[in-house]
Amino acid sequence: MKAITLIFTLLFSVVSNAQEIKPVFQQDGEMLKATYFHDNGTVSQEGHFLKGKLHGEWKMYSEDGKKIAMGEYTEGKKTGKWFFWDAKKLKEVDFVDSKIANVTEWDNAGQLAVNK
């Protein structure tokens, strides 16, 4: 019984000590700069908040540090051109009030693949 209790205690302490990397927030003028992390410690997202809403440029990264998305928020709404990268193509997405207005896809050679 003591062995089971000891094992349970050790497992609980290991699980409770496993650290999730907490986001970092820094005041930047009127805005609050936010940086979020993947479990491996690399940056997953960075951008700003204004009055509690996403605002300004936001960037998102894969676990290996490659940029996978970038765009603008205005008072919590996606606006303007957003870019989404993957291994085979780049998607250029136009947003108006967080709604998709147009999507253009480019292949690795820079050729227009699809325009929706």
Q: What was the pLDDT predicted at 109? A: 72
Q: What was the pLDDT predicted at 88? A: 83
* Both tokens assigned to 6: 């000891």
Q: Which residues are within 8 A (CB) of 23 and not within 5 positions of it... i.e. 6 or more apart?
A: 34, 35, 36, 37
Q: What was the pLDDT predicted at 19? A: 57
pLDDT in 10s for each residue of the chain, 116 residues: 444 443 444 334 433 344 578 999 999 999 999 999 999 999 999 999 999 999 999 999 999 999 999 999 999 999 999 999 988 889 999 999 889 999 999 887 766 666 66
Question: CA–CA separation, 107 vs 90, rounded Å?
Answer: 6
Q: What was the pLDDT predicted at 68? A: 96
| Domains of the chain, first to last | 21-115 (2.20.110)
